[in-house]
Amino acid sequence: MTESTITRTGAYRPRAISFLKVHEAAGWRLKFYGITVNGGPLRPELVTVGEALVPSVLPHPAVHNGGGDPHDSDRYGVGFVILHDAKDYAFALFDWWAGENEIHQRVYSALPTRLGAMRPHPTLAIGCVWELAVTDFERRAWLEHVLSRPGGPDIEGYLAARLQGEV
């Protein structure tokens, strides 16, 4: 077995994850999060781009009964968006809940200086360690407020659960 070498550009540094708001558009209710490489506030322009992409990136209609078709999952009109102003790209990850316990995702990116050119990300990446921290939090919130509740799902409780802090 050959040992692989990982080239790093520096030591791991925690990044602040900020809950920004619940954004409603096209029938969706989405928790927006911001992450920045420098720890400062997220650029408002990146939030504006993320908001503008929601209607074209997410499936229609937001709430949908798949009717048992294995290629057409139920959707609940809720999810989260991670906006990450990283070193090499600006990212927008659009995640939504479907099929009871699945996260579906579309990743968009642009050069940091060309936010208006945001397009589907050209690689198979699903997220970096900071973005996956948000995904993990959202998974745990979905379990707590939707899947594990004996009295039935609490979507409002899920939307009220928010990650804020350094990861």
Q: What is the DSSP string of 63-112?
A: EE--TT-TTS--EEEEEEEEEEE-SS-EEEEEEEEETTTEEEEEEEEE-T
Pairing between β-strand 28-36 and β-strand 75-85 as defined by DSSP bridges: parallel
Question: Long-range contacts of range 112-117, CB-CB < 8 Å, 24 or more positions apart?
Answer: 112/85, 112/86, 112/88, 115/43, 115/45, 115/46, 115/49, 115/90, 116/49
pLDDT of residue 9: 84
User: pTM of the predicted model, to two decimals?
Assistant: 0.94
> What are the residue ranges spanned by the domains of the chain?
16-166
C-alpha 35/C-alpha 24 separation (Å) is: 20
d(C-alpha 110, C-alpha 34), whole Å:
16
Span 85-89, average pLDDT:
94
Average pLDDT (18-24) is 98
Once rounded to an integer, what is the mean pLDDT over residues 95-117?
A: 96
Residue 39 has pLDDT above 90, yes or no: no
Is residue 14 reached through a cis peptide bond, with omega within 30 degrees of 0 on the bond before it? no
Q: Render pLDDT for 120-163 as a digit per residue (tens, 0 to 9).
A: 999 999 999 999 999 999 999 999 999 999 999 999 999 999 99
> How many residues appear in the chain?
167
